[in-house]
Amino acid sequence: MRKVVFLSALALATTPVLAAPKNIIYMIGDGMGPAYLTAYRYYLNQGERPVQQTIFDQLLVGASSTYPDDDTLVTDSAAGATALATGVKSFNGAISVNRQHIPIGTMMQLAKRLGKANGIVASSQVNHATPAAFVSHNVHRRNYDAIADMYLDYRINGQPVADVILGGGTSYFIRDDRNLVTEFKQQGYQYAGSWQDLNQLTTKPALALLDKIGLPAALNSEQPAQLATLTEKALQLLSPAEKGFVLMVEGSQIDWCGHDNDIACAMAEMHDFAKAIAVAKAYVDANPDTLLVITADHETGGMSLGADGKYLWLPEVVRGVKATGRRIADEMNAADSEQAALARWQALTGINITDEEQQQLLAARGKEQKDLRDVAVRLVAQYSYTGWTTGGHTGADVPVMAYGKYSGAFRGFMDNTDIAKQLIRYISTNQTPKASE
């Protein structure tokens, strides 16, 4: 199996490169289409003119296509991540296998074979589609237990592919049939099961599973800067690495907010992701032999700034929302009266709604959480003039950002596979950059 798995990555690595970064930080904003960057810029702005650039704007170098290897043109996260991890397109649902279900070598597997260190960070469960595509293989992304098993069982040079694994997912790693956490510890991994324990991780290999599935949504979380904290910890654990490292950081829940058509949730996740990017950028500044590349696997929701024929978008409405649509629904459903439920709406959104809209909220109360959530996020979208075209993904191109001495290789338009191919070439070379480059 190993020869098959690494065939693709080694083939991509044959193209010579004159110089390569020692370390690669690869950040993926799941679902983060171009409108998300624009919305975040205005979301941060408090009415000043000119509108100030965000860290996304400052690092923007190009755009990428995302279509999968089928006739849909609209990728899911699994196929998108497979392309970004391997340089090869596959079908929706695939975790680094091709259409014949043959494993495709990933950049992290190649890095491990070459003696480099690897890390994955995610605000979802760590065995979710995007991180999974970098270290494992499966014919379907929903086979979470089997994917988690492969994180430990698949070895290169006698070691698991990922040296650092930080995020959520205890439900998949501590099960009735198997306790992977115990087995990771037996392999020498330090383990943290809470934010309080995170500081106890002092050296790689290390594993942190901080929630049963994904981490709390940024807008609901009591832990500030979740993704930035995990990114900083991962960089601490991976440094120094004699032959360098590859770190993948996913802002996973940007996508989840887009699926919910929840603009306030999405902007909070973008803010969390931006803080993590700032940590990575600071690392590049302090370690110039590091390349930072940021992109998305696809766009989610078909977001537009402006809706209902109005030339208007109101970020101040979005900024006033203090909880996700899911949390709003939970709190309204938990209220002991209709009056108390409407008081929770007002406290969590700051939006004054009509009597008819109040009745819409109350009519959905007591039903499935989704019913009340959908009304809540629709009202926030309505009052902020945010448009959504779908609860799924779209085929829109996504932004590409890069920073560091080698960022020029990612300028302009490219396919998602081209991003991976270039990174695989960098990983494969052991040449040292010349002082003049």
pLDDT of residue 434: 36
Rounded to an integer, the average pLDDT of 287-294 is 97
pLDDT of residue 30: 98
Residues 6 or more apart whose CB falls under 8 angstroms from that of 93 comprise 76, 78, 79, 139, 140, 141, 142
Assess contact for 351 and 376: CB atoms under 8 A: no
| Least confident interval from 5-19, 80-94, 258-272 | 5-19
137 known ligand binder: no
Confidence band (pLDDT; 50, 70, 90) for 18? low
329 within a domain of the structure (yes/no): yes
Range of the domain at 347: 305-387
Rounded to an integer, the average pLDDT of 125-139 is 98
202 has a pLDDT exceeding 70: yes
Percent of the chain with pLDDT over 90: 92
Number of domains in the chain: 2
Confidence band (pLDDT; 50, 70, 90) for 435? very low
378 within a domain of the structure (yes/no): yes
The secondary element (H helix, E strand) that includes residue 121 is: strand 117-125
3 has a pLDDT exceeding 60: no
Same domain as 230, residue 352: no
pLDDT of residue 2: 41
Same domain as 67, residue 91: yes
CATH for 316: 1.10.60.40
137 within a domain of the structure (yes/no): yes
Beta strands in 262-416 (DSSP E): 290-295, 299-300, 304-305, 386-387, 393-394, 398-403, 412-415
The residue assigned the tokens 């929630």 is: 211
66 known ligand binder: no
Q: Give the closest residue to 426 by CA, choosing from 66, 107, 96.
A: 107
Residue, of 10 and 45, whose pLDDT is higher:
45
Q: Give the closest residue to 234 by CA, choosing from 394, 355, 120, 111.
A: 120
CATH for 398: 3.40.720.10
250 known ligand binder: yes
Active site residues: 77
Neighbour count for residue 146 (Cβ, 10 Å): 17
Same domain as 329, residue 281: no
Same domain as 401, residue 365: no
Rounded to an integer, the average pLDDT of 183-202 is 97
Rounded to an integer, the average pLDDT of 70-84 is 97
16 has a pLDDT exceeding 60: no
d(CA 32, CA 130) in angstroms, rounded, equals: 13
Q: Structure pTM?
A: 0.95
437 within a domain of the structure (yes/no): no
Residues facing residue 65 across a β-bridge = 415
Rounded to an integer, the average pLDDT of 95-119 is 97
Assess contact for 81 and 132: CB atoms under 8 A: yes
Assess contact for 274 and 54: CB atoms under 8 A: yes
Same domain as 106, residue 66: yes
pLDDT of residue 10: 53
433 has a pLDDT exceeding 60: no
Same domain as 281, residue 311: no
d(CA 307, CA 385) in angstroms, rounded, equals: 5
Same domain as 259, residue 138: yes
Rounded to an integer, the average pLDDT of 2-28 is 68
298 known ligand binder: yes
Assess contact for 146 and 117: CB atoms under 8 A: no
Assess contact for 222 and 194: CB atoms under 8 A: no
Same domain as 220, residue 134: yes
44 has a pLDDT exceeding 80: yes
Same domain as 229, residue 288: yes
pLDDT in tens, 22-40: 999 999 999 999 999 999 9
433 within a domain of the structure (yes/no): no
Same domain as 156, residue 90: yes
65 has a pLDDT exceeding 70: yes
436 within a domain of the structure (yes/no): no
pLDDT in tens, 245-275: 999 999 999 999 999 999 999 999 999 999 9
Confidence band (pLDDT; 50, 70, 90) for 405? confident
d(CA 66, CA 79) in angstroms, rounded, equals: 9
pLDDT of residue 1: 39
pLDDT, the chain, mean:
94
Same domain as 298, residue 329: no
pLDDT in tens, 176-189: 999 999 999 999 99
Same domain as 233, residue 204: yes
29 within a domain of the structure (yes/no): yes
pLDDT of residue 430: 55
Q: Give the closest residue to 303 by CA, choosing from 413, 399, 392, 414.
A: 392
Rounded to an integer, the average pLDDT of 191-217 is 98
299 within a domain of the structure (yes/no): yes
pLDDT in tens, 318-328: 999 999 999 99
d(CA 157, CA 118) in angstroms, rounded, equals: 14
Confidence band (pLDDT; 50, 70, 90) for 366? confident
